[in-house]
Amino acid sequence: MMEEKGKNRKLEPGGYIPWVDTAKGIGVILTIIGHLWYYSNIPTITTIIYSFHVSMFFILSGYVFSRNEHESYGVFLKKKAERLLLPAFLIMLIFSPLNVFLRIRNGEFYLLDVLLNMFFFKGRVILGLAYWFFVVIFEIMAIEGLLSITTKDLRLKWSVAILNFLLGYILYKSQLFFDFFGVHKAIIAYGFFVFGNILHDMNLKYNSCKEHFKNIIILSCFIAWMIAGVFCNKSVSMYALSLGRFWFFIISGITGSIVYFKICGIIDKYISVFRKFAPNTVFIIGTHVIVTAAFGKIMTKLQLDHTYIYSITAFIFAIVLAFMYLPVCKIVNKKFPILNGRVSKSK
């Protein structure tokens, strides 16, 4: 879900990290599966996916983040707005007529409510579209552009990450839900973002560690993820700020992401096809909910929801839909690149 193009992925100056694009590609497919799985009879799959996959995208954003030190804050913010806010705004506009139509048909049309959700004012979006993620990422980038935490030492980064999680916890437990324009989500997400940058630094620092020591860490993360995210917490939603046991959500988001990155690193050595999704995540993530919602409605009318037939069909459909997006994205990138977070070459 990060907005940078694959060729710009950096571990250190000039370095490209192939597994990052594989992680994004598989993450896109997991997102589609997650949105299809609401009507499944195997809810554990939803619990597993949502225990880490949204957090993972924020962590990965921090892992690959870099900024031109000679670039002014205004230029930096403008680029991020073009890559994140503008496509989110356009996707919202494209589907607004459908949102109005459905609300009128269901007798739920309230103009003020529609307008507030269109512009994410209350931390909500129309039609459940995932463009909220890009608004939150932009807010994170705006904060990072001012504070430059990713350039500081590890001790300060740990402090900032923990403080963000603590603030998110206080708001969550007090049920204040200060989520205007997704601010509450951004506070928690910035903690994950900074942790991703910490992970990047630690990977550089301890890259020479013995393999068996790394395997022990991965195994420990796997156990922590399963306990915190799967066995001791219910299915969560960062968008809805329905996080269950807050600290279990934080732990599972971090440990699950670490395990996921390890798995993606292994997969990337043998399969490179998932990298193709990486440059197209903005458009795919921003629009796929319309298709998955329609699929769910059709299967419900056929009375196949909450059956094994639905679960098998939904899994296959998610894979097919993801790969069907690739030729569509080629057209979008050629004709309407801004919908995929790309500025036209003519600019």
pLDDT in tens, 110-163: 777 778 877 888 888 888 888 899 999 999 999 999 999 999 999 999 999 999
Residue 15 has a pLDDT of 60
Residue 210 has a pLDDT of 75
**154/230 Cα distance (integer angstroms):** 30
pLDDT at residue 9 greater than cutoff 50: no
**213/119 Cα distance (integer angstroms):** 48
**122/179 Cα distance (integer angstroms):** 6
Most distant pair of Cα atoms in the chain: their distance:
63
Q: Are 199 and 258 in contact (CB under 8 A)?
A: yes
Q: Are 137 and 185 in contact (CB under 8 A)?
A: no
Q: Are 36 and 215 in contact (CB under 8 A)?
A: no
Residue 232 has a pLDDT of 95
Residue 347 has a pLDDT of 40
* Percent of the chain residues topping a pLDDT of 90: 72
Q: For residue 74, give the 3-state DSSP assignment.
A: helix
Residue 7 has a pLDDT of 40
Where helices occur in the chain by DSSP H, the ranges are 18-36, 43-50, 53-64, 73-80, 86-105, 111-118, 132-147, 154-174, 183-205, 211-225, 246-270, 281-301, 308-335
Rounded average pLDDT over 215-221: 93
With a threshold of 0.75, does the pTM exceed it?
A: yes
pLDDT at residue 178 greater than cutoff 50: yes
Residue 50 has a pLDDT of 95
Residue 127 has a pLDDT of 83
Phi, psi angle pair for 43, to nearest 5°: -65, -20
pLDDT at residue 4 greater than cutoff 60: no
pLDDT class for 177, splitting at 50, 70, 90? low
Tokens of 204: 């550089």
Burial tier of 310 (Cβ tally within 10 Å: 0-12, 13-18, 19+): buried
pLDDT at residue 2 greater than cutoff 60: no
Residue 110 has a pLDDT of 79
Task: Flag the least confident range among 9-23, 66-80, 268-282, 293-307.
Answer: 9-23
Rounded average pLDDT over 259-263: 96
**188/193 Cα distance (integer angstroms):** 9
Identify the bridge partners of residue 1 per DSSP, sorted by sequence position.
none
Rounded average pLDDT over 34-55: 94
Q: Compute the mean pLDDT over every residue in the chain, rounded to the nearest whole number.
A: 89
